[in-house]
């Protein structure tokens, strides 16, 4: 069998790992790649591994040896899938590796906001407990998850993992129907009703033309003033300027986000500059537990080995 050329375009997005590819191969690792470098770097490659580096139609067309694009993530919006299909290039991603990790991160944000963790951390650091005449210091109002209604948009593996954990806390689950849907599917609740009834809304749907700005000014005003919004899906699902305004002016009690419209936010972001006490931001790390990352590496390895097995069968 001829030696296959494997190119990693952004190797530093993955930890050190000794891949066990069971076919003759040569690996070229690039820590990261700028868009203008991609075409030359993969011109002779048979297999390309890209986590977040875009591969467009022209690059695919000018890579005659390319047979597989392997993505160590679920999202494929950085790959021109139509061009790949036209040129006989298979694209394989990884599924389900982070369901538990993202679900746990989601619950962490819910608990932290409902129980006012950031506020109490600040109060303790400011010495307010030390000055309290009582054994405890009572500041921001604390709420339980038990008995609250959780509206979830996105009923895939992550959404279902969140639901099972939320039910263990005694929460009622509403599965949100698509925005502007003409009919409501069995087991779902109309979009607007979810906004009106939920104490917490959690977003786990993909970003596309139908879901961009799924939650904007109108939707935020339709939610309960004491509601909380969680977004660990994609930054573009929420109008960030509208979210800042809702938090500032009391239309929303709190928000927890793990994703922004531009990542990394090199040009700044309204959420980052708001410095609001009822907003928690984490740097797109909900998926990144050690256990989930290990699953990514194994699944990536399996995807490449299984693809090559089909080429020699």
HSE (CB half, 13 Å, CA atoms) of 208?
9
Beta strands in the chain (DSSP E): 4-8, 25-29, 47-49, 68-70, 90-92, 149-153, 172-175, 200-203, 228-231, 254-257, 279-281
Q: Which two tokens stand for residue 150?
A: 């959780």
CA–CA dist 16, 8 (Å, integer): 13
Name the more confident of 207 and 188: 188
CA 234 to chain centre: 5
Question: Residue 163, CB half-sphere, CA atoms under 13 Å: how many?
Answer: 17
In the predicted model, is pLDDT for residue 256 greater than 70? yes
**Which residues, in sequence order, are bridge partners of residue 238?**
215
Q: Residue 163, exposed/middle/buried by CB under 10 A (0-12, 13-18, 19+)?
A: buried
Same CATH fold assignment for domains 4-95+291-312 and 99-281 = yes
Q: Mind listing the pLDDT tens digit for each residue in 109-163? A: 999 999 999 999 999 999 999 999 999 999 999 999 999 999 999 999 999 999 9
Please report, for the chain, the start and end positions of each structural domain, with discontinuous segments joined by +: 4-95+291-312, 99-281
Q: Which helix (H) or strand (E) holds 231?
A: strand 228-231
Helix then strand then coil, in percent of the chain rounded to 5, is: 35, 15, 50
Both tokens assigned to 108: 């962490």
Distance CA 73, CA 287 (A): 10
- Residue 236: per-residue pLDDT: 94
Which residues are designated catalytic? 234, 263, 284
Q: Is the dihedral of CA 10, 14, 16, 18 positive or negative?
A: negative
| 108/300 Cα distance (integer angstroms) | 28
State percent of the chain over pLDDT 70.
Answer: 99
CB 69 within 8 A of CB 89: yes
Predicted local confidence at residue 313, as pLDDT: 57
Is residue 264 reached through a cis peptide bond, with omega within 30 degrees of 0 on the bond before it? yes
Q: Please compute the mean of the pLDDT values over residues 1-27 and round it to a whole number.
A: 93
- Residues 196-203 have a mean pLDDT of 98
Q: How confident is the model at residue 209 (pLDDT cuts 50, 70, 90)?
A: confident
The span from the CA of 249 to the CA of 247, in Å, is 6
Q: Cβ–Cβ contacts within 10 Å for residue 128, how many?
A: 13
| Residue 90 parent element (H or E) | strand 90-92
- Cβ contacts of 26-33, under 8 Å, gap ≥ 24: 33/9
In angstroms, what CA-CA distances link 196 with 143, 258, 311? 19, 24, 53
Query: Helix, strand, or coil here: 189?
Result: strand
Look up the CATH superfamily of 99-281.
NAD(P)-binding Rossmann-like Domain (3.40.50.720)
Q: Confirm whether pTM is higher than 0.85.
A: yes
pLDDT digits (tens, 9 = 90+) for 267-280: 999 999 999 999 99
pLDDT tens-place string over residues 150-189? 999 999 999 999 999 999 999 999 999 999 999 999 999 9
Chosen CATH of 4-95+291-312 out of 1.10.3660.10, 2.60.120.10, 3.10.105.10, 3.40.50.720? 3.40.50.720
> Which residues, in sequence order, are bridge partners of residue 26?
5
How confident is the prediction for the chain on average, in pLDDT? 95
């Amino acid at each position: 069998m001829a030696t296959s050329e494997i190119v990693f375009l952004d190797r530093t997005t993955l930890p050190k790992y000794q891949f066990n590819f069971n076919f003759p191969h040569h690996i070229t690792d690039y820590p990261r790649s700028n868009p203008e470098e991609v075409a030359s770097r993969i011109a002779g490659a048979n297999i390309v591994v890209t986590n977040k580096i875009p591969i467009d139609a022209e690059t695919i067309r000018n890579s005659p040896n390319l047979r597989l694009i392997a993505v160590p993530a679920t999202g494929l919006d950085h790959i021109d899938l139509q061009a790949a299909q036209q040129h006989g290039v298979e694209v394989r991603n990884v599924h389900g590796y982070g369901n538990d990790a993202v679900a746990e991160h989601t619950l962490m944000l819910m608990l932290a906001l409902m129980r006012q963790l950031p506020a109490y951390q600040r109060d303790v650091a400011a010495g307010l407990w030390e000055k309290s005449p009582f054994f405890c210091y009572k500041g921001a109002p604390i709420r339980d998850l038990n008995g609250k209604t959780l509206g979830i948009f996105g009923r895939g593996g992550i959404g279902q993992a969140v639901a099972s954990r939320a039910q263990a806390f005694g929460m009622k689950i509403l599965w949100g129907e698509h925005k502007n849907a003409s009919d409501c599917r069995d087991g779902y609740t109309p979009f607007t009703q979810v906004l009106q009834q939920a104490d917490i809304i959690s977003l786990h749907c993909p970003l596309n033309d139908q879901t961009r700005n799924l939650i904007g000014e109108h939707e935020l005003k339709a939610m309960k003033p004491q509601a909380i919004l969680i977004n660990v899906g994609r930054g573009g699902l929420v109008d960030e300027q509208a979210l800042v305004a809702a938090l500032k002016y009391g239309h929303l009690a709190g928000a927890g986000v793990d994703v922004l419209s531009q990542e990394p936010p090199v040009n700044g972001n309204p959420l980052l500059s708001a410095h609001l006490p009822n907003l928690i931001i984490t740097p797109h790390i909900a998926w990144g537990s050690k256990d989930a990352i290990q699953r990514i590496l194994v699944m990536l390895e399996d995807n490449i080995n299984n693809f090559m097995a089909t080429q020699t069968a």
